[in-house]
């Protein structure tokens, strides 16, 4: 290993004098998680098999199936994947889903891996999210959500929206079925898994679809309302049992408060799914959008005027929040026609009936702000995250129990150093696509804790403040934070994004798993001949803005190959590939001595 890259002292960087920040000019390669998301040229069934009885859900556009990799995966914590299968007639929606998910890198947004185009269907391969969607969860739990639970869930969706809206992206179909939730074991971060492949559920889903604003829409809506009513009766929310439920709810509240006083980790993990209506506002020439999307009960008033912005997502989330706390929709619950529902949404003020007596004024205030009829007055996700309701419930005050672990993770971040961009690309691929989400739970909590403005990315200031808080007497200088950004901000966005953070903080020994290395090698060795060539690397990380940059990047890759090509055949074999990663992990062993 090159002497100069060794860091002998645990915290040697700490003692370095202020270094004037200058990004190396030679380095034009940007690495981002989307580099690794593309159309798989193989046949879907060559790579995956659909699990028996493995249907996870059905929506208006597609069906979701649990998958197993045909090339059997023996690692102890494999990433669970599922396929969203679009039939030919719904292919239109797949493009928005892929384009949106490709550009999103956030702990509360489902992760896309790859996709397949077959003759009569289209498959999107994504992370299998644990738990249930909110619609099923509500039907299952037989009582409304308490405030603490609601708060945790709504906050995480707002964090996801704050991130996407700042990127100019709209979800446009925020509703109960598109928010996945799971409860984790508060001590270990392990996730309780729910069996959610029963066929009953899928049937119910078919009935309850309310995707399009087509002529069938209203029938869907009515079915849905009936289901909702039945659900309510079965869980005791019919008129005469309200008081009893309120007590139950209160008891539930108390136990929830107890939990938050005990300062345990957040109980709920949330993932926003279904980006089939996702759209990039920056691509639109007009200020307002007008196309059809979403579901009637969650539509904002301005949607019907066909002039809307990202604020429709905020409105829809207001409907979700109201429904979680009251187990009924705020508008249109008892309407018989689409027109009636629309009129209620546009004209009527939201009503907080008797079942709201035990619910805090702050919660109602937040709902009122989200269900503000005038989109210009309706606050943004970023603004809403500062609402006092979230401060009362302290959901974001994740207390991470093991400070030593925390310090190790932060030290990893501070000492993250790659020898070249190819090494960095391999590390990124392993951490983003191969390491299971269970192995990332603690890091996700740390990321959230550092992200004090909750926009889903870490600024220099946030990292410095967080670091200084955790290490008390050990301050980070501006020079050091610039060095961190030089190494960790792989896509050069001037912020540390979620995956960049995970890659830099992950326990180093995870990168050495043979199976991960083999999969990473296979990713680059596209023709499968056992050698990685310059062109194969370029195809994955060679994205350039212009011709000049292209030739710069080519040169850079050529140099990298020379550095690692031990047997000097101009290509990289598996052993050479593994040694690149060993160099990285050895570096860590030295540091922690
Ligand atoms: N990644 C996932 N993991 C687990 N369940 C999922 C996942 N994606 C979707 N589902 C389930 O399948 C249902 C339909 O998927 P969705 O993507 O919303 O399809 P559609 O676009 O047709 O509405 C969801 O409501 C949810 O219950
Ligand atoms: Ca931030
Ligand atoms: Ca970045
Ligand atoms: Ca090859
Ligand atoms: Mg859906």
User: Which CATH number is 521's domain given?
Assistant: 1.10.238.10
Q: Taking a C-beta distance cutoff of 8 angstroms, is the pair 528, 522 a contact?
A: yes
Place of tokens 């090159």: 2
* Number of the ligand closest to the Cα of 486: 3
3-state secondary structure of 180: strand
Angle between helices 147-166 and 311-326 (to 10 degrees): 170
Pick the closest to residue 440 from 79, 69, 68, 67 (CA basis): 79
Task: Determine what percent of the chain falls in helix, strand and coil, rounding each to the nearest 5.
Answer: 50, 10, 40
176 lines ligand 1 (CB under 6 A): no
59 lines ligand 1 (CB under 6 A): yes
525 lines ligand 1 (CB under 6 A): no
* Number of the ligand closest to the Cα of 81: 1
pLDDT block averages, 10 residues each, the chain of length 593? 37 39 62 94 94 92 92 70 91 90 97 94 95 95 92 97 97 97 63 40 38 38 43 33 38 40 63 96 86 92 96 98 96 92 96 95 98 98 97 63 78 92 96 92 92 96 89 81 95 96 94 94 95 95 86 92 91 95 79 46
What token pair was written down for 96?
Answer: 């928005």
* Number of the ligand closest to the Cα of 132: 1
* Number of the ligand closest to the Cα of 194: 1
Same domain, 175 and 60: no
Ligand 2 centroid – CA 495 distance (Å): 8
3-state secondary structure of 511: helix
458 lines ligand 1 (CB under 6 A): no
Q: How does DSSP classify residue 476?
A: P
Q: How does DSSP classify residue 167?
A: T
DSSP 512-551: G-HHHHHHHHHHH-TT-SS-B-HHHHHHHH---SSHHHHH
- List Cβ neighbours of 342 (8 Å cut-off, separation of 6 or more): 296, 299, 304
56 lines ligand 1 (CB under 6 A): yes
Q: Is residue 61 part of a domain?
A: yes
The CA-based angle 266-274-370, given to 5 degrees, is: 60
Place of tokens 């408060």: 257
Nearest residue CA, atom 1 of ligand 1?
128
DSSP 229-277: HHHHHHTT-SGGGHHHHHHHHHHHHHHHHHHHHTTPPPSEEEEE---TT
What token pair was written down for 314?
Answer: 């905020």
Q: Is residue 113 part of a domain?
A: yes
Strand partners, 55: 65
Q: Give the environment of ion ligand 4: residues with CB less than 5 A.
A: 525, 527, 529, 531
What pLDDT shows up at residue 469?
A: 82
Same domain, 359 and 414: no
358 HSE (CA, 13 A, CB side): 21
Q: Residue 66 burial by CB count (10 A; 0-12/13-18/19+): exposed, middle or buried?
A: buried
Ligand 1 centroid – CA 173 distance (Å): 12
Nearest residue CA, atom 23 of ligand 1?
59
Q: Specify the ligand 1 atom closest to the Cα of 61.
A: 22
133 lines ligand 1 (CB under 6 A): yes
3-state secondary structure of 191: strand
Domain's final residue, options 356, 376, 393:
393
Ligand 2 centroid – CA 384 distance (Å): 15
35 lines ligand 1 (CB under 6 A): no
Query: What count of other Cβ atoms lies within 10 Å of the Cβ of residue 193?
Result: 10
Longest dimension (CA), the chain: 82
- Give the Cα separation of 65 and 197 in Å (integer): 9
Pick the closest to residue 66 from 134, 15, 135, 130 (CA basis): 130
Same domain, 115 and 222: no
97 lines ligand 1 (CB under 6 A): no
Domain of 87?
Answer: 44-127
Nearest residue CA, atom 11 of ligand 1?
57
* Number of the ligand closest to the Cα of 526: 4
Ligand 5 centroid – CA 35 distance (Å): 26
**Buried/exposed 339-361: b ≥16 CB within 10 Å, e otherwise:** eebbebbbeeebebeebbeebbe
Same domain, 415 and 352: no
- Give the Cα separation of 27 and 80 in Å (integer): 35
- Give the Cα separation of 226 and 196 in Å (integer): 22
Q: Is residue 39 part of a domain?
A: no
3-state secondary structure of 110: coil
Q: Is residue 345 part of a domain?
A: yes
Ligand 3 centroid – CA 491 distance (Å): 5
128 lines ligand 1 (CB under 6 A): yes
Nearest residue CA, atom 26 of ligand 1?
57
What pLDDT shows up at residue 393?
A: 82
Q: Specify the ligand 1 atom closest to the Cα of 136.
A: 27
177 lines ligand 1 (CB under 6 A): yes
Q: In Å, how far are 309, 392, 559, 560 from 556, measured between CA atoms?
A: 43, 52, 5, 6
Q: Specify the ligand 1 atom closest to the Cα of 131.
A: 4
What pLDDT shows up at residue 26?
A: 55
Ligand 3 centroid – CA 493 distance (Å): 4
Same domain, 445 and 540: yes
Place of tokens 């999107």: 124
Q: Is residue 569 part of a domain?
A: yes
Same domain, 484 and 539: yes
Same domain, 567 and 467: yes
Phi then psi dihedrals of residue 215, to 5 deg: -65, -25
Same domain, 383 and 502: no
82 lines ligand 1 (CB under 6 A): yes
What token pair was written down for 173?
Answer: 């179909």
Q: Specify the ligand 1 atom closest to the Cα of 274.
A: 17
Q: Is residue 487 part of a domain?
A: yes
Same domain, 357 and 246: yes
In testing the pocket of ligand 1, which one of 133, 191, 198 has its CB within 8 Å of the most ligand atoms?
A: 133
Place of tokens 């990004």: 23
125 lines ligand 1 (CB under 6 A): no
Nearest residue CA, atom 10 of ligand 1?
57
Q: Are strands 132-133 and 112-117 parallel, antiparallel or unpaired?
A: unpaired
Same domain, 542 and 419: yes
Q: Output the CA torsion sign for 366, 370, 376, 382.
A: positive
Nearest residue CA, atom 17 of ligand 1?
274
Q: Taking a C-beta distance cutoff of 8 angstroms, is the pair 302, 375 a contact?
A: yes
Q: Is residue 38 part of a domain?
A: no
* Number of the ligand closest to the Cα of 528: 4
Q: Taking a C-beta distance cutoff of 8 angstroms, is the pair 316, 307 a contact?
A: no
User: Domain with 65 in it: what CATH number?
Assistant: 3.30.200.20
In testing the pocket of ligand 1, which one of 50, 51, 57, 66 has its CB within 8 Å of the most ligand atoms?
A: 57
The rounded Cα 489 to chain-centroid distance in angstroms is 19
Same domain, 287 and 189: yes
CA dihedral 211, 215, 219, 224 (to 10 degrees): 20
Strand partners, 363: none
Q: Specify the ligand 1 atom closest to the Cα of 58.
A: 14
Q: Taking a C-beta distance cutoff of 8 angstroms, is the pair 392, 360 a contact?
A: yes
What pLDDT shows up at residue 590?
A: 54
User: Domain with 179 in it: what CATH number?
Assistant: 1.10.510.10
- Give the Cα separation of 296 and 298 in Å (integer): 5
Q: Is residue 37 part of a domain?
A: no
- Could you give the number of structural domains in the chain? 3
Domain's final residue, options 83, 100, 127:
127
Same domain, 85 and 185: no
- Give the Cα separation of 502 and 493 in Å (integer): 16
Q: Taking a C-beta distance cutoff of 8 angstroms, is the pair 49, 70 a contact?
A: yes
541 lines ligand 1 (CB under 6 A): no
């Amino acid at each position: 290993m090159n002497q100069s890259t060794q860091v002998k002292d645990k915290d040697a960087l700490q003692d370095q004098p202020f270094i004037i920040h200058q990004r190396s000019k030679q380095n034009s390669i940007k690495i981002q998680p989307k580099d690794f998301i593309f159309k798989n040229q193989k046949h879907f069934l060559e790579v995956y098999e659909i699990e028996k009885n493995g249907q996870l859900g059905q929506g208006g556009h597609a069906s979701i199936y649990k998958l197993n990799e045909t090339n059997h995966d023996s690692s102890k914590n494999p990433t669970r994947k599922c396929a969203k299968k679009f039939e030919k007639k719904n292919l239109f929606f797949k493009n928005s889903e892929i384009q949106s998910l490709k550009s999103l890198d956030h702990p509360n947004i489902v992760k896309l891996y790859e996709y397949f185009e077959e003759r009569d269907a289209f498959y999107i391969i994504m992370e299998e999210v644990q738990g249930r969607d909110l619609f099923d969860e509500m039907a299952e739990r037989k009582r409304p959500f308490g405030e603490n639970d609601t708060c945790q869930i709504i906050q995480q969706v707002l964090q996801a929206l704050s991130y996407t809206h700042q990127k100019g992206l709209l979800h446009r179909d925020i509703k109960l079925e598109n928010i996945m939730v799971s409860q984790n074991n508060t001590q270990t971060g392990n996730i309780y898994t729910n069996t959610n492949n029963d066929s009953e559920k899928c049937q119910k889903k078919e009935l309850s679809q309310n995707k399009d604003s087509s002529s069938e829409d209203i029938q869907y809506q009515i079915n849905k309302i009936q289901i909702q009513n039945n659900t309510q009766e079965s869980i005791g929310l019919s008129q005469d049992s309200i008081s009893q439920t309120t007590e139950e709810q209160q008891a539930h509240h108390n136990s929830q408060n107890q939990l938050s006083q005990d300062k345990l980790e957040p109980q709920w993990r949330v993932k926003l799914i279904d980006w089939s209506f996702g759209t990039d506002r920056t691509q639109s020439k007009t200020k307002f959008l007008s196309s059809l999307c979403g579901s009637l009960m969650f539509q904002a008033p301005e949607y019907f005027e066909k002039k809307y912005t990202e604020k429709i997502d905020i409105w829809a989330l207001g409907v979700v929040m109201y429904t979680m706390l009251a187990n009924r929709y705020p508008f249109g619950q008892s309407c018989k026609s689409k027109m009636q529902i629309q009129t209620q949404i546009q004209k009527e003020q939201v009503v907080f009936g008797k079942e709201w007596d035990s619910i805090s004024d702050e919660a109602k205030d937040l709902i009122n702000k989200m269900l503000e009829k005038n989109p210009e007055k309706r606050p943004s996700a970023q603004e809403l995250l500062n609402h006092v309701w979230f401060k009362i419930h302290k959901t974001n005050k994740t207390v991470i129990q093991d400070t030593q672990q925390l310090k190790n993770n932060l030290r990893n971040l501070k000492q993250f150093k790659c020898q070249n961009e190819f090494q960095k690309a391999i590390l990124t691929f392993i951490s983003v696509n191969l390491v299971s989400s269970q192995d990332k739970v603690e890091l996700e909590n740390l990321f959230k804790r550092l992200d004090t403005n909750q926009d889903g990315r870490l600024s220099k200031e946030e990292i410095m403040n967080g670091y200084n808080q955790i290490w008390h007497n050990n301050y980070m200088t501006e020079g050091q934070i610039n060095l961190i950004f030089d190494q960790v901000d792989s896509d050069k966005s001037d912020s540390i994004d979620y995956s960049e953070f995970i890659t830099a903080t992950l326990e180093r020994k995870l990168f050495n798993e043979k199976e991960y290395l083999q999969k990473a090698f296979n990713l680059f060795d596209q023709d499968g001949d056992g050698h990685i060539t310059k062109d194969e690397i370029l195809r994955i990380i060679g994205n350039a803005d212009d011709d000049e940059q292209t030739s710069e990047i080519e040169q850079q890759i050529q140099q990298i190959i020379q550095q690692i090509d031990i047997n000097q055949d101009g290509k990289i074999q598996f052993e050479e590939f593994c040694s690149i990663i060993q160099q990285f992990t050895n570096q860590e062993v030295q540091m922690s001595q």
